[in-house]
A and B are shown apart, each in its own frame.
Chain A
Amino acid sequence: MRYVDEFRDGTLARGIADRVAHEVRPDRSYRFMEFCGGHTHAIARYGVVDLLPAQVRMIHGPGCPVCVLPVGRIDNAIALALQHRVTLCTYADTLRVPASGKTSLLRAKAAGADVRMVYAASDALRIAREHPQREVVFFAIGFETTTPATALVLLEAERAGLGNFSVFCNHVLTPAAIAAILEAPRGAAAPALDGFVGPAHVSCVIGSAPYEPFAAKYAKPVVIAGFEPLDVMQAVRMLVRQVNEGRHEVENEYTRAVTRGGNARAIAAMAETFEPRPTFEWRGLGEVAGSALRIRDRFRRFDAEARYGIVYRPVPEPKGCECGAILRGAKSPSDCRLFGTVCTPENPVGSCMVSSEGSCAAWYGYGRFRDAARTA
């Protein structure tokens, strides 16, 4: 397939691998965090680590929208569906995230709640139009990748004057989260990191400029990379060079899609409909100031939080679950006692085991043979 196969080519991969191996200094290690679940998934699915030299260690970041959503927010969504009896529409993986009291949206659905899986925010709007007698709520999650689509349905709902549609907004912001990783929340030790593989799809929307203050303040290089395995390998090579040369710049490997300024129309639509929340709880990172969006007052009648008086209550992590430390990059999936025993993709305890972009699910589904090889 054109424009895809080229970025998974084994011969090119060996070429980049040879150059990385040649450029790494034998006397030091390079610890890079790939922020996005898309990168985590690509690294695991294509076995990228098999091609990287031993000095390079990839650490998985929190960039998985389903993983960072705190349990309390899923509880809110379940209450909307079960107690307020709304038609709740959301993206697929969200359905399987374990909530309080052994529930999940999937189980609420089995118990009779009207929960629908949608592929796009506009599908939720369509359901509202087709069922004017139903209250339809779009449970909006995700980074800047999915936010513009939610912005557009809010604008459309306003234009059409839809009375039975609202959005439960849980959109979060990437640059604030990257900074939070290095700020080491709640007294936990910050992971020692030498640089970041920056987001692909998020950066298509916001551009590369928003990472510049971060790179300067924390003196960490950022290389924005596409989600194909060769993109990741090339980004690693660029990061190794920056480290070797003592630079900490924002570089863009993904020039075929990302510009410095991003997508102006998407940014404008987001600015028109959303404003930053003072603070938002992230799984793993805790409360992070200015890290999420809420719906502007102009669209208040489409804001499910106002409409249904949603009150957020924090919920402690399941006992023994290391999702928090794993999302911060402080631990790896196999450091968790529950990994692969109590917690599996079929019966996930923590959110990182739910989404295919979660670190635990990626390691379980693609990489866990390496644990066996290590202990053998």
Chain B
Amino acid sequence: MNAREKAYVRPVDFRDGRVDMSHGAGGRAMAQLVDELFLAALDNPWLRKLNDQACFAPPAGRLVITTDSHVVTPLVFAGGDIGSLSVHGTINDVAMAGARPLYLTAGFILEEGFPLGELRRIVESMAAASREAGVPVVAGDTKVVEKGKGDGVFITTTGVGVVPDGVEISAERARPGDAVLVSGTLGDHGVAILSKRANLDFETPIRSDTAALHGLVAAMVEAAPAIRCLRDPTRGGLAATLNEFAQASGAGFRIRERALPIKPEVHAACEFLGLDPLNVANEGKLVAVCAPDDAAKLLAAMRAHPLGRDAALIGEVVEDPQRFVQMETRLGGWRIVDWLTGEQLPRIC
């Protein structure tokens, strides 16, 4: 046998193959999966070195780091899948500091028996999201757990970014008088996911809003560098984000129901499921708080960006030692906008 000739290796069977314990065992099967799947899809100079870590020079400014685990069911939904979601979610968490995201890492926990073809679609979707955002996945890890010990695929991503000097964005900086803005329609992601859950299968044209928001944030920081707070209202929706701002800043929030951008389809779905759209998750929206003088130019900058077309001024920060988030209803009365209790459950009567 000629040692110079590369021996034939049967390629990974992405058509009928399934994840087995050997794919996480550190042997040849694992190396082959890394090579033919992860490296092929996510290819970049750092990954290509096949080291256990990625090395890069620290950029000027302050570093930002965040981590996020993704366990969504179903794995594929209208408008995205767990792959794109795991890229967008972590990029957004970095961006909400006003930072420019630089690198991502990804950890996969795969369940024995998971179809390799589905895994490839998820990894390719992840790669496409990473390329589109311009943020490479520079290190990764794969583990396999026995059947029944996972739910198909779990993905943990970590993001590193850099904040320009002079940008100080943090939840405790909200002050009475500040303006509160959202970047677009609320509840799209949660309703798209719920519509595909078992027992709840209903037809809806709603797609998840999953998107990387760092471009929008860059435009916003350029227009109004003194933005005080930014956060993406994911789990718990707008209600949770405003309550977090209120707790951190020691101020109250007042919003107007009439000003909230909500798609009629989302409103209708929430209506018959007994959900409040303010508690429903988003994956491509942000909430911003800024000084009243900055509100007009910030809103204009948001609306000029494709991901902020439906941006709206929804309320203001007020003095309130109780730190309540209150809303003037469409009807003209007032109510509290509270944290979500337990899981979102429909009413029965």
Is there contact, CB below 8 Å, between B349 and A13? no
Q: Within the complex, which residue of B200, B271, B333, B336 is in contact with A51, where a contact is CB–CB below 8 Å?
A: B333
Is A320 among interface residues, defined by CB-CB distance under 8 A? no
**Pair count A-B, CB < 8 A:** 103
Q: B348 at interface (Cβ–Cβ under 8 A)?
A: yes
Give the distance in Å from the alpha carbon of A1 to the alpha carbon of B331 in the complex: 15
Interface residues of A in 134-172 (CB under 8 A from B): 142-143, 145-146
Within 8 A of B (CB), among A112-126: 117-119, 123
Residue in chain A with minimal CB distance to B345: A92
Instruction: List chain B residues, Cβ under 8 A from A345.
Output: 341-342
- Residue-wise interface mask of A (46-71) relative to B, using a CB-CB cutoff of 8 A (1 in contact, 0 not): 11111100000000000011100000
Contact between B322 and A369, CB atoms less than 8 A apart:
yes
Q: Are A45 and B332 in contact (CB under 8 A)?
A: no
CA distance A47 to B333 in the complex (A): 4
- Give residues of chain B (185-225) contacting chain A, Cβ–Cβ below 8 Å: 199-200
Please measure, in the bound complex, the distance between the C-alpha atom of A146 and the C-alpha atom of B268, giving whole angstroms.
22
Which residues from 330 to 347 on chain B have a C-beta closer than 8 Å to any C-beta of chain A? 330-336, 338, 341-342, 345-347
Which chain A positions have C-beta within 8 A of B329? 8, 45-47, 229
Q: Let me know if B335 and A8 touch, CB within 8 A.
A: no
Rounded to whole Å, the gap between the CB of A195 and the closest CB of chain B is 21
* CA gap between A93 and B349 in the complex, in Å: 11
Chain B residues lying within 8 Å of A145, measured Cβ to Cβ, are 349
In the complex, B92 has a CB within 8 A of chain A: no
A311 at interface (Cβ–Cβ under 8 A)?
no
Report B-chain residues with C-beta under 8 Å of the C-beta of A96.
342
Chain B residues with CB under 8 Å of A75's CB are none
Tell whether B267 is near chain A: CB-to-CB under 8 Å.
yes
**Is residue B125 within 8 Å, beta carbon to beta carbon, of the partner chain?**
no
Distance between Cα atoms of A64 and B347 in the complex (Å): 11
A106–B342 Cα distance when bound, in Å, is 11
A47 & B347 in contact (Cβ 8 Å cutoff): no
Tell me whether B103 is interfacial, beta carbon within 8 Å. Answer: no
Contacts of A13 in B (CB 8 A): 331-332
In angstroms, how far is the closest chain A Cβ from the Cβ of B343? 9
Which residues of chain B come closer than 8 Å to A357, judged between CB atoms? 347, 349
Q: Does B38 sit at the interface, judged by CB under 8 A?
A: no
The residues in B between 292 and 349 inclusive whose CB is less than 8 angstroms from any CB of A are 322, 324, 326, 328-336, 338, 341-342, 345-349
Asked if B341 and A365 make an inter-chain contact with CB atoms under 8 angstroms apart, the answer reads yes
Report which of B326, B331, B346 forms a contact with A229, defined as CB distance below 8 A.
Answer: B331
A8 in complex: contacting residue of B324, B328, B330, B349, CB < 8 Å? B330
Decide: A48 and B333 in contact? CB cutoff 8 A: yes
Contact of A37 among B333, B334, B346, B349 (CB under 8 A): B349
A299 at the interface (CB under 8 A from B): no
B331 contacts A48, CB within 8 Å? Answer: yes
| Chain A interface helix/strand/loop/mixed | helix
- For residue A364, which residues in chain B have a CB less than 8 angstroms away from its CB? 338
Complex CA–CA separation, A51 to B331 (angstroms)? 9
Check B148 for interface membership: any CB of A closer than 8 A. Answer: no
Whether A365 and B331, one on each chain, are in contact in the complex, defined by CB atoms closer than 8 angstroms, is no
Evaluate whether A92 and B341 lie within 8 angstroms (CB atoms) in the complex, with A46-B333, A47-B335, A372-B322 already known. no
Q: A184-223: which residues lie under 8 A (CB-CB) from chain B?
A: 201
- Most A CB atoms within 10 A — which of B200, B267, B324, B341? B341
| Interface assignment of B27: CB less than 8 Å from any CB of chain A | no
> Among residues 148 to 175 in chain B, which have CB atoms less than 8 Å away from a CB atom of chain A?
none
Say whether A107 faces chain B, with CB atoms less than 8 Å apart: no
Q: Is the CB of A368 closer than 8 A to any CB of chain B?
A: yes
B264 located at the interface, meaning its Cβ lies under 8 Å from any Cβ of chain A in the complex: yes
Contacting pair A1 B271 (CB below 8 A): yes
From 328 to 376 in chain A, residues with beta carbon under 8 angstroms from any chain B beta carbon are: 345-346, 355-357, 361, 364-369, 372
Kindly state whether residue A110 has any CB partner on chain B within 8 Å. no
Query: Which chain A residues lie closer than 8 Å to B332 at the CB level?
Result: 10, 13-14, 17, 47, 50-51
Which residue of the partner chain A has the closest CB to B267? A1
Do residues B324 and A369 form an inter-chain contact, with CB atoms below 8 A? Answer: yes
- Give A311-330 interface residues, CB cut-off 8 Å to B: none
Q: Which residues of A contact B331 (CB under 8 A)?
A: 8-10, 13, 46-48, 51, 229-230
Which residues does chain A contribute within 8 Å of B341, judged by CB atoms? 345-346, 361, 365
Interface 0/1 of A27-52, CB less than 8 Å to B:
00000000011100100111111110
Which of B258, B274, B328, B335 is most buried by chain A, counting CB atoms within 10 A of its CB?
B335
Cβ–Cβ contact A143 & B335, under 8 A: no
Check: A4 CB closer than 8 A to any chain B CB.
yes
Contact of B336 among A1, A10, A356, A368 (CB under 8 A): A368
User: CB-defined interface of A68-96 with B at 8 Å, one 1/0 digit per residue?
Assistant: 00000000000000000000000111001
Measured CB to CB, the nearest residue on chain A to B334 is: A47
Q: CB-CB < 8 A to A117: which residues of B?
A: 345
| Chain B residues positioned under 8 Å from A17 (CB to CB) | 332
Q: Select which of A1, A10, A46, A93 is within 8 A of B268 by beta carbon.
A: A1
Contact B335 A45 (CB under 8 A): yes
Query: Shortest distance in angstroms between B107's beta carbon and chain A's nearest beta carbon?
Result: 28
- Name 22 A/B residue pairs within 8 A (Cβ), A-sorted: A1-B271, A5-B330, A10-B258, A13-B331, A14-B332, A46-B335, A47-B328, A47-B332, A49-B333, A92-B345, A123-B199, A142-B348, A142-B349, A143-B349, A229-B331, A230-B331, A345-B341, A345-B342, A357-B349, A365-B338, A369-B324, A372-B324
Interface contacts beyond A4-B271, A17-B332, A367-B336: sample of 8 additional A-B pairs, CB < 8 Å, sorted by A: A1-B267, A1-B271, A10-B332, A47-B334, A49-B333, A65-B349, A66-B348, A229-B331
Report which A residues bind B (CB closer than 8 A). Answer: 1, 4-5, 8-10, 13-14, 17, 36-38, 41, 44-51, 64-66, 91-93, 96, 117-119, 123, 142-143, 145-146, 201, 229-230, 345-346, 355-357, 361, 364-369, 372
* Interface residues, chain B, with chain A CB atoms under 8 Å away: 199-200, 258, 264, 267-268, 271, 274, 322, 324, 326, 328-336, 338, 341-342, 345-349
The 10 nearest A-B residue pairs measured at CB = A47-B333, A50-B333, A345-B341, A92-B345, A366-B335, A91-B348, A46-B331, A10-B332, A47-B334, A46-B329
